[in-house]
């Protein structure tokens, strides 16, 4: 056999071998999977569940969404209610579900009403942020796209996290919740949920801006509330909008000067496939959608479009999970 023929034969063999290795080495897309863990600091210990989406590849930085359950819920129930894992698989992001401990609250409500949980670096918010850091240390996370959203007590905790950790969270969703420091005692919380907070949203807007160390940083927030919510009075949704508009007014230039308007740039309406009418108010500053409010007619204390197999679902409403993710993905640090 000539030298040239040997070279050609070896070359063909090498190409075939490389192709075989490529086939054998190509790992199939990973199926989505739960990861269970817990995080501790001086403020206690809380468990968490992390959803790693289908097709996750180590080293590929993905967005992270923190999902905060409401009272009488746990991560499995909140994940089922919202179908957030399916959205994560489709859109490729990680989902962290902190779990409130029964020893901390017998109804598994986040203790948003206590001052020890309303400041930066302490209490339950510090535990949630610690979990975020844990995820960043074990998985590839795009730190420019870390979001948080919740329902009911989880939504009020979202207000606290967006206020005090605006350097960690890029955007948030407050679903059937209340503004930052809507109440500072258990009895005050009951009053606020029934009648609305006694505190000025403008004052709380300043307090929220100050809690992150007075950074010049805007805080995009989606607020969703039903008009027939008999657990958390809908006025709380209106107060949350006003509070975060004021926080953003300080956040753009450090001054209360109406640089972020309290009037919506756009007001639209629609009807969900299930027949729920809703009104959308968009508050825009510098071409950026900073605060968006969905007011859903006839909906009670619920997650809109949720799976009816789980508590606190309103299947007739627009898909709250899609609303949340569509809002989040408009924002990057």
Query: How confident is the chain (333 residues) per 10-residue block, as mean pLDDT?
Result: 38 38 41 95 98 94 98 97 98 98 97 97 98 97 98 98 97 98 96 97 97 91 98 98 97 93 97 98 95 98 97 96 98 93
The whole-angstrom separation of Cα 297 and Cα 166 is 31
What's the residue count for the chain? Answer: 333
Domain regions of the chain by residue span: 29-328
Cα 328 to Cα 126, 144, 262, 272: the distances in Å are: 22, 11, 21, 20
DSSP letter at 184 equals S
Query: Backbone phi, then psi, for 315, in 5-degree steps?
Result: -60, -25
Supply the pLDDT for residue 16. 40
The whole-angstrom separation of Cα 185 and Cα 197 is 12
Closest to 111 (Cα-Cα) out of 167, 52, 43, 38: 43
User: Which positions ≥6 away from 187 have C-beta within 8 Å?
Assistant: none
The whole-angstrom separation of Cα 151 and Cα 232 is 11
Cα 264 to Cα 245, 258, 268, 285, 325: the distances in Å are: 10, 13, 10, 10, 21
Residue 29 CA, chain-centre distance (Å), reads 26
What crossing angle do the helices spanning 235-253 and 153-164 adopt, rounded to 10°? Answer: 10
In the three-class reduction of DSSP (H, G, I as helix; E, B as strand; rest coil), residue 84 is classed as helix
The three-state DSSP-derived secondary structure of 111-176 is: CCCCHHHCCCCCHHHHHHHHHHHHHHHHCCEEEEEEEEEEECHHHHHHHHHHHHCCCCCCEEEEEC
Q: What is the CATH number assigned to the segment(s) 29-328?
A: 3.40.50.1820
- Cβ-contact 289, 330 below 8 angstroms: yes
- Cβ-contact 248, 290 below 8 angstroms: yes
Closest to 247 (Cα-Cα) out of 217, 285, 283, 279: 217
Supply the pLDDT for residue 27. 42
């Amino acid at each position: 056999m000539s030298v040239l023929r040997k070279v050609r034969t070896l070359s063909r063999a090498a190409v075939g071998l490389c192709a075989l290795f490529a086939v054998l080495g190509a790992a199939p897309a990973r199926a989505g999977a739960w990861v269970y863990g817990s995080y501790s600091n001086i403020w206690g210990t809380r468990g968490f569940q992390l959803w790693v989406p289908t097709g996750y590849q180590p080293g590929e930085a993905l967005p992270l969404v923190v999902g905060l359950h409401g009272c009488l819920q746990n991560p499995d129930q909140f994940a089922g209610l919202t179908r957030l894992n399916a959205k994560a698989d489709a859109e490729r992001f990680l989902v962290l579900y902190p779990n409130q401990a029964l020893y901390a609250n017998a109804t598994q409500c986040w203790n948003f009403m206590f001052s020890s949980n309303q400041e930066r670096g302490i209490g339950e918010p510090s535990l949630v942020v610690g979990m975020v850091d844990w995820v960043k240390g074990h998985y590839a996370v795009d730190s420019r796209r870390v979001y948080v959203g919740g329902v009911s007590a989880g939504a009020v905790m979202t207000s606290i996290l967006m206020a005090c950790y605006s350097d960690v969270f890029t955007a948030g969703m407050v679903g059937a919740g209340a503004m930052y420091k809507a109440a500072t005692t258990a009895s005050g919380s009951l009053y606020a949920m029934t009648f609305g907070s006694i505190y000025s949203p403008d004052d709380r807007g300043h307090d929220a801006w100050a809690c992150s160390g007075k950074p010049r940083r805007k805080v995009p927030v989606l607020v969703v509330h039903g008009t027939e919510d008999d657990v958390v009075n809908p006025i709380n949704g209106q107060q949350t909008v006003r509070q975060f508009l004021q926080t953003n007014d300080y956040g753009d230039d450090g001054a209360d000067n109406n640089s972020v308007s309290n009037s919506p740039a756009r007001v639209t309406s629609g009807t969900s496939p299930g027949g729920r009418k809703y009104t959308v108010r968009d508050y825009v500053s510098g071409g950026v959608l900073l605060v968006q409010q969905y007011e859903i007619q006839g909906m009670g204390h619920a997650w809109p479009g949720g799976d009816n197999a789980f508590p606190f679902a309103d299947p007739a409403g627009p898909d709250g999970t899609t609303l949340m993710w569509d809002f989040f993905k408009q924002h990057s640090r």
